[in-house]
Amino acid sequence: MATQIEPASTGSTPPESRPQPAVRRGRPRTGASLLTALTWVIAIGFFSPVLWMVLTSFKQESAAASNPPTFFSLPPWTSTGPSSMPERVPISSIR
């Protein structure tokens, strides 16, 4: 005796009987904003030593060991500004 196999049920309900997800509109909650801000502050706090090490690795040893420490060791500004650029970089050598 042969038995017939019925197609498996997909378990889905018709679209009109499914509950619709709630859509939140408007401004986010204040608690969520505060949590986001706190998360950013903590992330920056954890990342700042890594940034400090990377910036220090580009400095000369004397500048890296200076007290108080400097964030960037840039040369001081001069009164000549960009007008001295052609003297420092000869344009004729650039091809």
Dump pLDDT digits (tens) for 23-78.
777 766 788 899 999 999 999 999 999 999 998 888 888 888 888 877 765 665 66
- Two tokens, residue 59: 């400095």
How does DSSP classify residue 65?
Answer: T
73 within a domain of the structure (yes/no)? no
Element (H, E) at 43: helix 30-57
46 within a domain of the structure (yes/no)? yes
40 within a domain of the structure (yes/no)? yes
CB 60 within 8 A of CB 73: yes
37 within a domain of the structure (yes/no)? yes
Structural domain including 46 reads 32-57
Q: What pTM does this model have? A: 0.44
Question: 3-class SS at 46?
Answer: helix
Question: 3-class SS at 59?
Answer: coil
